[in-house]
Amino acid sequence: MPLLINNLPSAERQPPLFSIRQLSFTYPDGTPGLQGVTLDIHAGDRIALMGPNGSGKSTLIRHLNGLNTVQEGSCLFEGSNIEPDRNSTLRQRIGLLFQDPDDQLFCPTLYEDVAFGPRNQGKNATQVDHLVRNALAGVNLDHLLYKSSHSLSYGQKKRAALAAILAMEPEVLLLDEPTANLDPGQERRIKELLAGYTGTLIIIEHDLLFLQGICNRAVVLVEGRVQYDQHFDDLLGNPRLLVACGLDFTFRFTDLDCAAASAGHQHCQVTPEQDTNGYHRQSDHGRQPLIELQRYSYRYADGTVGLRDINFGLFTGETVALLGENGAGKSTLALCLLGLHLGEGSLLLDGEQVSPNERSRLWQRVGMVFQHCAEQLFCPSCWEEVAFGPQQLGLPADEVEHRTQEALALVQLHGCEERVPLNMSEGERKRLAIAAALSLRPDLLLLDEPAAGLDPRSEALLVQILAELPVTKLLITHDLNFIRWLSRRTVVLHQGRIIRDYATSSFLADEHLQEITGLDYQYKRRCRQA
């Protein structure tokens, strides 16, 4: 039974912009996406669409602009069915930001990507130029006008895709996880931008603090059904209801030491008194690093500098947080450690240099979970996904089975062997990608934005899983919760250089970092205190 369904009063209001009645949707493999959703959305509504991963949020908004065809029930816009013959007109009025920005960026330059929509609306060149520059300025990308969209960082791509939608001046904005992968400074800027938007706004987001001040209505989906529909502030002020809806993030604010420390792991202790502008090779009691970059630089094909003279190493057993503004070089550094990006300088494994022809040594000992983990999931079942790596090593069938079951159990996906990965929730896919890496039994696990897009329960579970994993870990994240709970050492990148390498406790107390990098973690702390 629903916990609470209490639609906002509609007396003296205009007819709804969207009218949804008993809308149900089932995916081709039989997975239910929506089950009897009934909802009215009025012009000017500012809705926070929330719920656990896999609850049907993305499925619902894809119906609102006609990307999903109605199977059962009805979905009306301005009193008429949303049908294929109306879609081209609707999509000029209804903008949709996908969860994955790569699905929306396809032109040679950022300018062309943002100009594509206005040009197809019939705007003249002067109008298009004005709209493009305004939209890019709004998301703080106007300095990258003629940059290739595909050379941007993932967080920059997210903002670029949003700019491409805003340039079309839509009456309705449908945003699917707009802050996932954004650094705190850019998150604050997007919040200010959306607060000033005057159209109808529907945001899929798990961060209640980001939504506060933007949205006036909360709709919560659970297992494809509407469980709650009322004023946003009423939901925010009801802790029991937040817990019941799976939206309780209070575990983030518990004043505990890092979970990894309680697990007894050894960590690199870099004190604030040390020079914080570089990596200290002897900072872990003289031990040799497991993996190390020495004077390492990387430049992209278009000439963009990704890394500048990096000295960085990881010691066996430690968990290190790597952070920096969008485009600072975090993912680039991880890909260099994995040997997928070849730069200038030395890459050492156990003190021995790894040449380009010896990278297979790395791939047997270093695993990585990419920022958009769906990019590394390609098998038809979870079992096949996790077994793929051990099979490529030529291991016997019984050993492959043992490793696969062991890895699935470690990430709490035991019993999901036959499920289709691409039909799983984002949180489940993240855990599956980790299992696929763990089945190779790596010494080092690189995780790029592991918390992005996760609901509170999925994030809490992932924190628990990562804290207990007996491998060296590098966490690329903007999430203060992950940093505080899992790492003793924090490394900060800025414009391709390491500018801080110190104890996490020193990072959490560093009030000057924003002045250097634009990483507005003080904004996140203020939100938390509110």
What band does 21 get if pLDDT is binned at 50, 70 and 90?
very high
Instruction: For residues 99 and 206, give the distance between their C-alpha atoms in angstroms, rounded to a whole number.
Output: 13
User: 208 and 249 in contact (C-beta within 8 Å)?
Assistant: yes
Amino acid identity, position 80: S
Residue 412 structure tokens: 């709490």
- For residue 516, the model assigns a pLDDT of 61
Identify the structural domains of the chain with CATH numbers, from first to last: 18-248 (3.40.50.300), 374-441 (no CATH)
CB 489 within 8 A of CB 506: no
Q: How far is CA 57 from the centre of its chain?
A: 16
**With 90 as the cut, is the pLDDT of residue 318 above it?**
yes
pLDDT category, 294, cuts 50, 70, 90? Answer: very high
Res 396: pLDDT = 97
What local confidence, expressed as pLDDT, does residue 369 receive? 93
In this prediction, residue 263 carries a pLDDT of 35
* Mean pLDDT across 284-288: 69
pLDDT at 259 over 50: no
Integer Cα distance of 502 and 267 in angstroms: 11
Task: Flag whether pLDDT at 125 surpasses 80.
Answer: yes
Residue (of 65, 47, 57) closest to 25 by Cα position: 57
Nearest to 489 by CA among 470, 465, 471, 508: 508
Can you give the pTM of this predicted structure?
0.82
What integer pLDDT is reported at residue 266 of this predicted model? 36
116: closest CA among 98, 90, 99, 95?
A: 95
Which neighbouring-strand residues pair with 210? none
Q: Six-digit token pair at 318?
A: 């430690």
Measured CA to CA, the distance from residue 405 to residue 403 in angstroms comes to 6
Q: Are 455 and 53 in contact (CB under 8 A)?
A: yes
455 or 104: whose pLDDT is higher?
Answer: 104
Contact by Cβ (8 Å): 100, 87: no
Strand arrangement of the beta sheet that strand 80-81 belongs to: 32-41, 18-26, 72-77, 80-81
Q: What are phi and psi of 58, to 5 degrees?
A: -65, -40
